[in-house]
Every structure is written in structure tokens, then in C-alpha cells.
Structure 1
Amino acid sequence: MYRKILLPTDGSENAKRAGKHAIWIADVSKADIVVLNVVEPYYPRMPTMPNFRENLYNELREEGRRAVEKFKKDLEDNQCKGVCENINLTTEIKEGKPYLEILRTIDEEGIDLVVMGASGRHGLDRFMLGSVTERVVRESKSPVLVVP
């Protein structure tokens, strides 16, 4: 059925719930899981201190790395319940617009299924489908399972 599942994460509770579904599907399908975090660069319009952008980028990238590793460990420790040893779980951190990097990863990795949360960390997303999720659903060539 599925061979490779993409699990985009921003560390939110919705992403953690999506992780549970991805594990279950991967176990049943004998699929691999790619856990992806995308660091979106922030470029302030006003002049800033020297090295501000570089330091901010490095901090965001490190935060993304920690989030992906913590997410992977949480999945293995708390959500797998003995199932994950049969699942090849890899992690990736990319830089760019989240929806574009998710779509690019789908193509590059030959993803059969995307499992993602309905919304991310932003408070307003509670009232509607998250903008990243919506773009991925509309533009993905692979099926997308949206977990509330």
C-alpha cells in the first residue's frame, strides 16, 4: 500500500497527533517515515545589529534540529509501544517556505502519503485549516491525511 510516509512537524500538539497516525499506518503498511521540519528564514526590514540575521538563522535551525530529534525520540519512547523497531524513521531539516519544502520533499523522496496536523503552532489556526496544510492539500501529487 504505502512505502514512504512524510510527517512534517513544527513540534505542535497537532503534529504529535499526526505522528501517532503515521506510526500506525507505517506499521500496517511496512512503510518508512520521513520526519521533516522546515526552518522559515526571517528577514527583518529594518537595519539590525551585525550578524543578527546569521545568528537568528542559526538559532532557528538549531531549534528545528532539536524539535525534530525530540519529536523522533518522543515517537519512539512514548507513541510506538514496541512498533517502531519495524519502522525506518529518518529526519530532515530544510530551509524555506514550509509548504514549498514539503511539496519538494514529496517529489524528491517519492512520498506515497503525507500525514500532517490540521494546523500548526499559531493561535488563529485553531479556527481554520492551517495555511501550510491547506496549500499542501491543494498542491500535493500524493494523498494527504490531515489529523485534527
Structure 2
Amino acid sequence: MYKKILVPTDGSEFAKKAQKHALFLAEISGAEIIAISVTENNFVNGLPLDDEVYQLNQILKERSEENLKEFDKLNENDLKITHIVREGSPAKVILEVAKEENIDLIVIGSSGKSGFDRFIMGSVADKVVNSAKCAVLVIH
């Protein structure tokens, strides 16, 4: 039924739950998993591009890569997982990748980071559910 499953991750507990569900679905369906971590760096817009901003962007990118490596640790059955790291608005990037990769299913945590981060970004899951052209499974 599913050929490609997109799994956004930000390292949150809800994202980890979504990863486990995606791995299960991929195993029983034979689907490929595409794991994406989006580096949100819109807050640096307008700042002078100096070494400190560059270093901050590098730290954010490294954190995204670590989130994907953590996902790999859950993959006990050696399923195929392709990693994508992108910069931008998380919901927008997730929807773009879903279209580019011809995704059949997006498995996403119901909420990511909490507190102030969530207030600033809004609910990525809500935006994805309301705009995706494919099926979306929201894990709580």
C-alpha cells in the first residue's frame, strides 16, 4: 500500500513515537522511509552574515543530522532510510519534500518541541495535515 513514507524528526518525544510507527509500517508494507530534519533558521534573517551567525547555522545543521542518526538507532531491521536535511520553515519544507519525493504517507508527531519554540513556530503537524496531498498519520 505504501511505497514511500516521510518521517519528519526534530528529536522530540512525539517525533520518536512517530519514527517507531513509521518503521513498523515500512516493515509490513516494504516501503522506503525518507527521514527529514528541518533546520529552522528564519530568526537569523536580517542579521549580518558573520562568523557567529555561520557557526549558529552549523550547530543547527549538526543537531538536525544528530536527530537523523538517532532515528537510525531505532531501525533494528535494517530498513532503507534516506536522510534529508533542509533549511527553512518546517511545515513548508515537509510539504515540498513530500511532493518532490512522491510520498504516499507522512508520519508525524502531534507536537514537536514545547514551550516557546512551539509558540513561535505554531503547530507544524496542523499545517501539514491541512495542506498535504497525501495521507498523514499523526502520532500522539
TM-score (norm 2): 0.88
Structure showing greater radius of gyration is 1
- Residue by residue over 1:89-125, the C-alpha shift from the partner in whole angstroms, topping out at 9 and shown as x without a partner, is 1111001100011000001111000001000011379
TM-score (norm 1): 0.84
Quote the offset at 1:27 in angstroms.
Answer: 1.0
> Which of 109-118 and 36-45 deviates more?
36-45
Quote the offset at 1:52 in angstroms.
Answer: 1.9
Aligned to 2:89: 97
Aligned to 2:25: 25
SS at match of 2:82: strand
Q: Which runs of 5+ in 2 are unaligned?
A: none
Task: Tell me whether 1:109 sits opposite 2:101 in the alignment.
Answer: yes
What is the aligned-residue identity percentage?
Answer: 41
SS at match of 1:56: helix
SS at match of 2:53: helix
Counterparts of 2:85 and 2:5, CA distance in 1: 16
Q: Which runs of 5+ in 1 are unaligned?
A: none
The amino acid across from 1:72 in the alignment is D
Count residues in correspondence. Answer: 136
Aligned to 1:138: 130
The amino acid across from 1:51 in the alignment is D
- Residue by residue over 1:63-98, the C-alpha shift from the partner in whole angstroms, topping out at 9 and shown as x without a partner, is 11112112222x12xxx3xxx23x211111001100
The amino acid across from 1:13 in the alignment is E
The two structures, once aligned, show a CA RMSD in angstroms of: 2.0
Counterparts of 2:27 and 2:124, CA distance in 1: 26
